Each structure stands twice: as C-alpha cells, then as structure tokens.
Amino acid sequence: MSEDQAYDALPKITLLIVDDHPVFRQGLLNIFLTEDDIEVIAEGDNGEDALRLVRALQPDVLLLDINLPGINGLQVTSRLKTDHSTTAVVLLTAYDDMEQVLHAMRSGGAAYCPKDIEPELLVDTVRKVARGYYVVGGKVFNYDGLKEWLDAGVEAITGPYMVDPGEHFVPLSPREMEILQFVTQGKSNKEIARSLGISHQTVKNHMTSILKKLDVRDRTQAAVYALRRGWVRASNEQVDDQE
C-alpha cells in the first residue's frame, strides 16, 4: 500500500487554524481545502480563540501562529499541555532560529515551521503530527527522539558545563509573560509591582527566572528577545534598564 493510500484509509484529520492576519490565514485555508484527508473545522485570530475552540471542538491538529495579540502561541501551547489536550500543535513563526525552536517544542509543540515553508511540506507535517510524530528541523521524531534532540540543542547553546541546562528555554509562566510585557513597555520593577499588586521582591524573583529561561543577561536583552520573536507586541514606549 502506498503512503497516499494509507492516508486515505485513515479518518479525516480535523484541523483548526489560528492566525491574526486574514490574508495569511486564508492562504493556509486554501492549502488544506484541496486535501481530501484533512478538514478545516474552524478558524480563529487570537490566543483566546485558540484555547476556546480547541476545548470546544477538540481538533486533531491546531495550526497556530506564535505572534498573536493577547495570549501568544507559546502560551496557548503551554496551557493546552497543562490541560492534557490531545490536539497536536503545529507552531508557525516568521522568526526562525534555534532558540525559538527550543522554546516552541518545550512549550508542548508537536511541530515547528517557518512561515515560508513549502505548502506540501506543511500538509505533510500536519499528517505526521496527527499520527503522533514530532516534526522539527526537517526531521521526524517519536517522543524519545524529540527529547534527545532538544537536550542536544540546549547543550549546544548553553554549553556542556552548564549547571542546569534544564532551566533554560522552558516556557515562561503566565505571570512571567505578563511581567515581560511590562518590561517591553519600559516599566521598572517598582512600577510593575504597583501595576500587578505584588511586592517589588516578587517582581525581582520573576525577573531572575525570566533571564535564566531566556538565557540573557539583563532586562533590556529580555525585552528585545521577546519582541523579535513575536511573543509580545511592541508599544510606543522605550525599554529602559531600571531596577
């Protein structure tokens, strides 16, 4: 039996597409409309939509942009992982680098794809993750293989003598992401503490965790890191380096 025949024998793959750019989202929809074994059952344009629709419809696969307003794609993926959702998440990004890959897959992604991926490769990726595989860097893994690949990737960046490489490139908590958004707006720790109704020391503790997870030295680097990768949206305010 050929691979195409094998796919034909499987139930239709249900797919949810979430991207906040209507033209790009329509382009994704058009790609899958021609595939007999894949059915797009809903669309969304923000992270809240993604969570609501996954929980309501339980699609086989979620095709999800990382750079979303409000809750970004990494946060959505992490929350679905916490929910023990069976939906496989394929993360799409315009900012493609190894560190972004590590964050995406450690958040619970089943696949990571740059937005300029060839349509046929994207379709094949959706099929593979629907069958329980993981796809990243042009390679297909089972769970154990993915873990080995991720561990090697973290070590390649942090170095083999890092005390605890497991603390790097792991998902930021909702509170940490909230604080990071304030940092990109140029807020000091005291201002963030006042806005969130928490202590100055608590904010400092969260900042220490953020810097470690992002493997950066200071708050300015953290802000630039998040903005470049589309985790937060830029504001008109400038980032400062206040403590």
CATH assignment of 3-150?
A: 3.40.50.2300
| Residues 137-162, mean pLDDT to the nearest whole number | 85
How confident is the model over 187-211, as pLDDT tens digits?
999 999 999 999 999 999 999 999 9
* 42: helix, strand or coil: strand
Residue 1 has pLDDT above 60, yes or no: no
Rounded-to-integer distance, Cα 62 and Cα 44, Å: 10
What Rg, from alpha-carbon coordinates, does the chain have?
A: 19
| Mean pLDDT of the residues in the chain | 88
Three-state DSSP at 23 gives helix
Domain boundaries defined on the chain:
3-150, 172-228
CATH of domain 172-228: 1.10.10.10
Taking 90 as the threshold, does the pLDDT of residue 10 lie above it? Answer: no
Q: Is 179 or 240 the better-scoring residue by pLDDT?
A: 179
Q: What is the pLDDT of residue 94?
A: 87
Q: Give the C-alpha separation, 230 to 198, whole Å.
A: 26
Is pLDDT at 23 greater than 90 in this prediction? yes
Maximum average pLDDT range among 21-30, 68-77, 221-230 = 21-30
What's the pLDDT score for residue 80?
96
- Of 47-51, 61-65, 93-97, least confident by mean pLDDT is 93-97
